[in-house]
């Protein structure tokens, strides 16, 4: 089934860096100042317009228009600029040029707008570093000194309303001292504040980076959720455990962790255990704890979900429980088999003697039942002893492809398999070698094929697949039968578990034990469309393992493959 597609999220512009944000803040200040100058120019033009020449008025509004235009252009370019230092330098140069024009249009050295030089230097400190600050201060000083020199020598006459009046030497010196001192003072103070800001930002960035490293490096998954239950953040381990994607940010928590009860996290830790189906088709068991997410003032912001992947731990605990049961069964089996086998032999022998006697029809029927059930009980004891007192595996170099073909031939020769289509697929036949006991591998394959055939009821299709994986040889036995009920999947490898009237429940238990003793693993996956048993066996490595040639044999005394359904 294909999952419904998610609605596409609107593309969001990338967030601005700290440097870019400082530039944008000063651009806003510049816009406010130009707006104020516009209002002032409008007021002056309205009240004293007759005192201005047409050139003066035109130049004044051209400067205001250029200021607005450049600010808009810079604002549009900011999100796409990568060389922010150079970008800040261009804006500072523009600010100094505009300040010089504004001073010339408002009276020159005696203009009240000389403070624009100070603001330009302050802007350089905000948008750049110490180097740009001192460069802007030096440039502002040179521009002001040059304008003053041209004004004093009469080369350049500033525009004024009431006519230009040259300043006295004393007023001239005071004006120059005031302006240059102000520029130097702003430069010193701005440089100091900029250095303090840089140090604070660096310390904050280091702390934030350390926090990110800690969150990224913890071995458990971490999710933060807002008050509406939507995911705000997840760390790399959470991505790995739940197969998450960047698009999952903003999704409801119920989509990523179905069954997670946020209401249980009311100021205290709350632990839960869930089984989650991930987007990659895996099923993982997670143990999670919930805690409230609060700020520095203890105000509730949402929830923190911390979880671990317990899938492997759950499998190991099941294995421990199974081994405990098997250990208890081993002690019981040794005594029970000894106590039952002798009287059973007597019963079977007596039944054989009675079979030669002349019995009535009813007696013959009863005798047949005795012989059949005695044989069944004898087979059960044989399986029990085979399971509890196994032969240690003689592991050696084994050609898995040859074992698969021989098991398939034996299965096809079985009269009960006439209606079953067996398909054998072997990848890299000559190179597929495992380090296992060859006769035990043959027994495992035979039991699994018989088990699949019985599940199909004599009609259906079975696939026997052999392939090489990284660090393992994989064997799959797949049938298209009705599948195994979910409630039975965890018990199919347990001894005595069977749903067949004639089954002993030892077939798959013996298969599981043999595979584990040979250093491999076996898992079962089932659905209504069929069942797959997957074996992973250790590969043969010539440099580290004995180079023996395995001879594969099918045991003539194959165990009952047990029941699966």
What does the angle CA 172 – CA 177 – CA 181 come to, to the nearest 5 degrees?
155
Together in a domain, 203 and 282: no
Total tally of structural domains belonging to the chain: 4
Q: Are residues 246 and 322 in the same domain?
A: no
If asked whether residues 184 and 61 sit together in one domain, one would say yes
CATH of the domain at 329: 1.10.287
Query: Does 60 share its domain with 193?
Result: yes
Same domain, 139 and 27: yes
pTM greater than 0.85: no
Identify the CATH number of the domain in which residue 286 sits: 3.30.450.20
Residue 538 and residue 464 in contact, taking contact as beta carbons nearer than 8 Å: no
Residues 192 and 233 in one domain: no
Helix (H/G/I), strand (E/B), else coil: 15: coil
What is the secondary structure of 198-248 as a DSSP string? HHHHHHHHHHHHHHHHHHHH-SSEEEEEETTSBEEEE-HHHHHHHT--GGG
Domain that holds residue 275: 219-309
Helices (H), 247-310: 253-256
Neighbour tally for 513: CB within 10 Å: 22
Query: Same structural domain for residues 74 and 196?
Result: yes
| 419 and 364 share one domain | no
Are 225 and 260 in the same domain? yes
Point out the domain boundary residue: 274, 309, 344: 309
What is the full per-residue pLDDT of the chain (565 aa) written as tens digits?
Answer: 334 434 444 444 455 677 788 788 888 888 888 888 788 767 766 765 555 555 566 667 777 788 888 888 888 888 888 888 888 888 888 888 888 888 887 777 777 778 888 888 888 888 887 888 888 888 888 888 888 888 777 777 776 655 555 666 677 777 778 778 888 888 888 777 777 777 776 777 777 777 777 777 777 888 888 888 888 888 888 888 888 888 888 888 888 888 777 765 444 456 778 888 888 878 888 888 888 888 878 888 888 888 888 888 877 777 777 767 666 666 666 666 656 766 777 777 777 777 777 777 777 777 777 777 777 777 777 766 666 666 678 889 899 988 898 888 888 888 888 888 999 998 877 678 899 998 889 889 988 998 888 888 878 899 999 998 888 899 999 998 888 888 788 778 877 677 665 556 667 888 888 898 899 999 888 888 889 999 999 998 875 454 444 434 444 344 444 444 4
Q: CA 191 to CA 197: how far, in whole Å?
A: 10
249 with 360, same domain: the answer is no
Per the domain annotation, does 196 fall within a domain? yes
CATH code for the domain in which residue 450 is found? 3.30.565.10
Q: Are residues 51 and 95 in the same domain?
A: yes
């Amino acid at each position: 089934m294909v999952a419904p597609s998610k609605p596409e999220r609107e593309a969001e512009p990338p967030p601005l860096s700290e440097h870019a944000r400082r530039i944008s803040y000063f651009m806003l200040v510049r816009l406010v100042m130009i707006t104020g100058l516009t209002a002032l120019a409008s007021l002056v033009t309205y009240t004293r317009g007759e005192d201005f020449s047409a050139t003066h008025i035109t130049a004044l509004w051209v400067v205001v228009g250029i200021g607005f235009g450049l600010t808009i252009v810079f604002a549009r370019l900011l999100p796409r600029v990568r060389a922010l230092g150079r970008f800040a330098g261009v804006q500072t140069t523009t600010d100094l040029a505009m300040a010089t024009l504004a001073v010339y249009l408002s009276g020159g050295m005696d203009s009240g707008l000389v403070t624009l030089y100070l603001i330009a230097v302050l802007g350089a400190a905000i948008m750049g570093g110490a180097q740009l600050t001192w460069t802007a201060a030096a440039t502002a000083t040179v521009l002001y000194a040059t304008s003053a020199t041209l004004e004093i020598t009469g080369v350049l006459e500033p525009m004024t309303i009431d006519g230009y009046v040259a300043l006295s030497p004393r007023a001239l010196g005071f004006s120059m001292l005031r302006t240059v001192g102000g520029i130097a003072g702003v430069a010193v103070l701005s440089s100091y504040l900029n250095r303090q800001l840089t140090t604070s930002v660096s310390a904050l960035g280091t702390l934030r980076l350390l926090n990110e490293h800690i969150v990224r490096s913890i071995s458990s998954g971490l999710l933060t959720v807002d008050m509406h239950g939507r995911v705000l953040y997840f760390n790399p381990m959470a991505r790995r455990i739940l197969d998450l994607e960047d698009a999952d940010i903003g999704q409801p928590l119920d989509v990523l962790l179905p069954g997670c009860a946020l209401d249980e996290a009311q100021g205290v830790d709350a632990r839960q255990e869930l089984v989650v189906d991930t987007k990659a088709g895996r099923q993982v068991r997670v143990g999670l704890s919930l805690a409230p997410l609060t700020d520095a003032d203890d105000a509730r912001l949402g929830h923190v979900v911390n979880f671990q992947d317990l899938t492997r731990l759950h499998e190991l605990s099941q294995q421990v429980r199974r081994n405990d049961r098997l250990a208890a069964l081993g002690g019981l089996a040794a005594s029970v088999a000894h106590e039952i086998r002798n009287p059973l032999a007597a019963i079977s022998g007596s039944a054989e003697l009675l079979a030669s006697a002349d019995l009535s029809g009813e007696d013959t029927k009863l005798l047949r039942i005795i012989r059949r059930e005695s044989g069944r009980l004898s087979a059960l004891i044989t399986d029990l002893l085979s399971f509890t007192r196994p032969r240690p595996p003689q592991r050696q170099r084994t050609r898995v492809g040859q074992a698969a073909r021989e098991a398939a031939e034996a299965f096809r020769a079985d009269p009960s398999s006439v209606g079953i289509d067996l398909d054998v697929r072997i990848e890299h036949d000559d190179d597929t070698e495992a380090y296992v006991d060859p006769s035990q591998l043959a027994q495992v394959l035979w039991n699994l094929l018989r088990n699949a055939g019985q599940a199909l009821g004599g009609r259906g299709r079975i696939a026997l697949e052999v392939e090489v994986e990284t660090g393992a040889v994989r064997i799959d036995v797949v049938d298209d039968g009705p599948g195994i009920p979910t409630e039975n999947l965890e018990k199919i490898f347990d001894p005595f578990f069977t749903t067949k009237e004639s089954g002993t429940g030892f077939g798959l238990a013996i298969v599981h034990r043999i595979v584990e003793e040979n250093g491999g693993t076996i898992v079962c996956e089932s659905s209504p469309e069929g069942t797959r048993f997957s074996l992973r066996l250790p590969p043969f490595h010539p440099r580290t393992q004995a180079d023996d040639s395995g001879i594969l044999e099918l045991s003539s005394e194959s165990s009952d493959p047990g029941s699966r359904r």
